Structure 1
């Protein structure tokens, strides 16, 4: 089987696509996988670095005024012709889109050429690209019940996020805690706001450091591209580092404080991790709040919206949870019950069904 995957823009689209590819290669080593994305964003680097063949196109999104939309339409037409040429050359058995505007020309071209099409929606509120492509897809893979209302219900299969399939395999490696000067025998709270970090949230975390109880440890992943400089200096109980292995930290921590992006939500459920969620307000349709509510309603997480976030509220929430190990244990169980750990495997079976008829 030869598979072509369109993905790009952000890690929320890219990493689930790469997770599917990784598990597909493990289960079906004979499978050939080719990626398509933009030629100037992160996918153009991380996908080839992972060893996959990659085609890149220049394309702009639809956000902005009339001139931006005209420019985007022109780039879509150009990319569509490029995609048809790629598909004639590669002859994939199936094409899969993981959202973002870059998936539109490939999926449209595949449909026109009668190649089976699957799209994957990571969020609780479907993105513009996937809503636009929904009628062209043979199968739509979603992660939330709300996806059934946003796209043709008869096409939607709620398999979950392929990133969860990888997260489910995670075994905690305490050496990451030890190399950062913390004791793996003492419970720890991990703070992760993504590689870009968040200046506003980082400042609140910074201020909260002096308010945390001394009965637990804290490791803060500031973000490799975060412009905020922490004023609190790392000590024997609190460590501030640029980067951590996210899945490893979620597996080993007593509590995680994170954003509520699609990949993070999938990993929290797959691993079974209690969390305090601070949804990003800078995303379309406020979808991170909707994502977060899926775990909050199951008593698997606590949500603090950024507009309500203060150092005192953050510290009080974390301290209160860490003082109640029984509640944390129940939150972990609830998160695990909400998780979907076989999304990639189900998608692969569905792909074979589409290809083989």
Structure 2
């Protein structure tokens, strides 16, 4: 009898890394009967995201890259955690005996990359951003196959554009979506969803609240639906906060337009759902990758990139996209098929 194929997936940090990893892992289990195990980092947010899918990953005792902090003490602590994570990753690889390791970027991918290189285990790395991160560039130099979520992957000489695995849309009726979220909304109005990413974004929330106040003064029947917790008690009457959501089907089902940061996975979900988006790149993102993502999203016809340092008010692109309306949800299943083609299984 042939042994089932074993795949080790490393993903952590934020939902932008974890969600496409889990979607791909579940697809491999369902379509190819593969045995899939997961490696994650030590942040509580990572545990929460995985738990929402009923997954308990092997956790590495690391919460960030040593290069991502300025404090010498924190740099030392993270360096020590990285060394301990190498030991943990080695034990995991020895136990699981994977046929291939699939990395989804970020600091969590470095320990299994090093262990797999020493153990000569094939590695494939998926980059959700249009600019390759440090681990992706290192993996590329070491001969790993690089899959990109976009038709660009700046910083690596060779890559295959596969798209980003996303959850298949489950379009709900407005009444069912409101019921699932325990949400009261006026009938017949348009909804602007505001998604700041799994880590949130105070600046984006403040700008979106100002836009909501503008539409309220105009008397337009537009409700702003924010993921996350409210920043305070004094909110415009056309604003609702719905907390953190891991089941995004009710939220996306209600949205006519999105306001969001330019994380690769968020943009891929907007394209999959056919929801036009005003994309606000985080200007301090490493190597300008959110700006590059936003340009790719515009080129794909997904919406409008709006710069916080520009002179145009946020309301202007919102009004244009509200007039345009949403398109059809397509589910974008090809990303899993294309990524699977790179695996030596």
TM-score range relative to shorter protein = 0.7 to 0.9
After superposition, residues 272-283 of structure 1 pair within 5 angstroms as: 272-283=274-285
* Contact 1:251/1:273, CA 8 A, preserved across alignment: no
How many Å separate the matches in 2 of 1:51 and 1:222? 22
Shifted more, 259-268 versus 188-197: the winner is 188-197
Within the candidate set 291, 294, 297, 1:295 is matched to 297
How many Å separate the matches in 2 of 1:4 and 1:96? 6
Shift of 1:233: 4.3
In the other structure, the counterpart of 2:9 is 5
Where does the alignment leave 5 or more consecutive residues of structure 2 unmatched?
A: none
Within the candidate set 266, 269, 274, 1:267 is matched to 269
Q: In structure 2, the residue corresponding to 1:34 is in which secondary structure?
A: strand
In the other structure, the counterpart of 1:88 is 94
Within the candidate set 161, 164, 173, 2:164 is matched to 161
* Contact 2:277/2:304, CA 8 A, preserved across alignment: yes
| Higher helix content, 1 or 2 | 1
Cα deviation code 1:222-278 (max 9, x no counterpart): 414x6x2252243xx553433455444334432211111111111112222211111
Shift of 1:340: 4.7
Are 2:40 and 1:34 equivalent residues in the alignment?
no
Q: In structure 1, the residue corresponding to 2:12 is in which secondary structure?
A: coil
Cα deviation code 1:83-119 (max 9, x no counterpart): 2222122211111111111211112211221212111
Are 2:342 and 1:350 equivalent residues in the alignment?
yes
How many Å separate the matches in 1 of 2:341 and 2:68? 36
Cα gap change, 1:172/1:100 in structure 2, threshold over 3 Å: closer, same or farther?
same
Cα deviation code 1:115-161 (max 9, x no counterpart): 121111000111112112223353211012221x52231xx221111
Q: In structure 2, the residue corresponding to 1:265 is in which secondary structure?
A: helix
How many Å separate the matches in 2 of 1:230 and 1:315? 23
* Contact 2:61/2:82, CA 8 A, preserved across alignment: no
Question: What stretches of structure 1 move > 4 A for 4+ residues in a row?
Answer: 68-74
* Contact 1:257/1:277, CA 8 A, preserved across alignment: yes
Q: In structure 1, the residue corresponding to 2:49 is in which secondary structure?
A: helix
In the other structure, the counterpart of 1:19 is 23
In the other structure, the counterpart of 2:104 is 98
Are 2:191 and 1:188 equivalent residues in the alignment?
yes
Q: In structure 1, the residue corresponding to 2:120 is in which secondary structure?
A: coil
Shift of 1:290: 1.1
* Contact 1:7/1:35, CA 8 A, preserved across alignment: yes
TM-score, with structure 1 as normaliser? 0.82
After superposition, residues 127-276 of structure 1 pair within 5 angstroms as: 127-147=133-153, 149-153=154-158, 156-163=159-166, 166-167=167-168, 169-174=169-174, 175-177=176-178, 179-183=182-186, 185-212=188-215, 213-224=218-229, 228-229=231-232, 231-234=234-237, 238-243=239-244, 245-276=247-278
How many Å separate the matches in 1 of 2:194 and 2:85? 40
How many Å separate the matches in 1 of 2:198 and 2:87? 34
TM-score, with structure 2 as normaliser? 0.84
The number of residues matched between the two structures is 332
In the other structure, the counterpart of 1:110 is 116
Within the candidate set 78, 81, 98, 2:84 is matched to 78
Cα deviation code 1:280-302 (max 9, x no counterpart): 22421121111111122344312
Shift of 1:192: 2.1
How many Å separate the matches in 2 of 1:238 and 1:2? 47
* Contact 1:33/1:53, CA 8 A, preserved across alignment: no
Are 2:65 and 1:64 equivalent residues in the alignment?
no
Where does the alignment leave 5 or more consecutive residues of structure 1 unmatched?
A: none
